[in-house]
Structure 1
Amino acid sequence: RTYKEFITNPLTFTPTTNKIINHFELPSVTDELSITLNLTVTSHGGDWACVFRKGNTDSGDSKQRTPSLWLTANNSFLHPRFSITDNGNFGSNSDFGTGLLTNRWYHIAYTLSDTQKRMDIYIDGIWTGFSSIQRVRVESVIFNDLPLYIGKDLNFQGFTGQMSKFRFYNFRLSPQEVLIDYSGEDPTKITVVKCSSGILAGSIVGTFFSGIIFSAGCLFLLKRKRQSHYEDEVGGNKVVETSPNN
């Protein structure tokens, strides 16, 4: 259970810029992963916009979308996808959330588990939607060893805005751990969360829905604890200008 943070301070993106992470730089994944990030869009694109995508091509029977997240054209709804045995572009037919407002920071968490056959999306620590494999005995999540594109990939333009705190985990974050990440802390180290009713301690492991109940109880206090790091100056991180290839 580990993670790497590839973007820390706010980093500016345009439709033609990206940050590319090679497969060997990522934590080793077996059957689960999570990605968390802080995102603000300064304008809505007129076409699909890639937030992140691990994979190179959509041609043929490509299964190169694990994991991936796009924003819809004109209103920036979240459109998360992943690849499974019989579908390289698997996900809900409905987009998640209510569309991102411009010039507002959001915390987004994408969690994926082949063991549980599902992907979940959280916005600002709140469970927002999921997609699950139905034929669980014959279909599996298809992972790949290709680069991870943050921003523009080889098929879609990127988004216009900023991103910070981009973390790649090699396990599925629980609802409680998503809240810890949202608070700005390290969920691989913290197992005690203070709430108004006292201290909830333990391994923060439980059923999914008990985690949702826990989340509702702690969300307000964790929001207040969250550090305002969005105004920090960009340091060290760079994006790469690429030629449009849409």
Structure 2
Amino acid sequence: MNDSLTFLLPALLSGLLGSGHCLAMCGGIVSALGLSTARRPLAIGYHVGRIGTYMVIGAFVGGLTSFLPTMFSPALRVFAALWVIALGLYITGWWRVLVRLETLGKQVWRHIQPHTRKVLPINSWPRAIAAGALWGWLPCGLVYSVLGLASSSQSITLGAGVMLLFGVGTLPSMLGAMMFAQRLQRIMQHPGGKTLAGLLLLALGLWMLWPFIAPMPGHLHAFDPHALMALLWHNSASVLT
């Protein structure tokens, strides 16, 4: 697989599969912006600001690791795969370790949240972009896990690209929330849907990790992540029904 795709594809899939969590976090404000046709452009502006913040943070964490020697690259790839696995477990609700990161993020959000009042009411394009840029700092384990992926890229531009693709991945559900919020939110937050999304992310993380554990001796050779992903895809309809 192309080196960039090793980071960009998991980022996009994380946004798509984790979007049910996005609806729970900030679906309310997006729905409010999109209640009327006239206000829908403001919701677009909100997402531009939100994804812009993700990209700035992604560029920052990617830049931090860009100074590390190439000998650290394999360890960072393993680190990225473990973040995706943690995200899958987080989405299913089987392991809530990322909640601890959200607790730490609340310390930063405590200083940013008072500034959100300055952009209310959101009645113009600049205010919508500013609101999205501020709410992009909202504590979120989903965002933090993908930032772990961005930091493993060892690149400012690729770190920003990872967060861009992640943000793009969240758009279908978030824009859907704008148009038919309650119905879509019920679908995306259905226990079966969350379990399937989490399992797919778990399989993706294991697939990313496989090149590093395949050479190890023992029973690990019996695990085939490609077969696991095929099985999950084949049974996805039955999980959601």
Q: TM-score under structure 2 normalisation? A: 0.25
Structure 1 or 2, whichever has the larger Rg, is: 2
In proportion to residue count, which structure has more helix?
2
More strand by share: 1
Which structure carries more relative contact order (alpha carbon 8 Å, separation 6+)?
Answer: 2
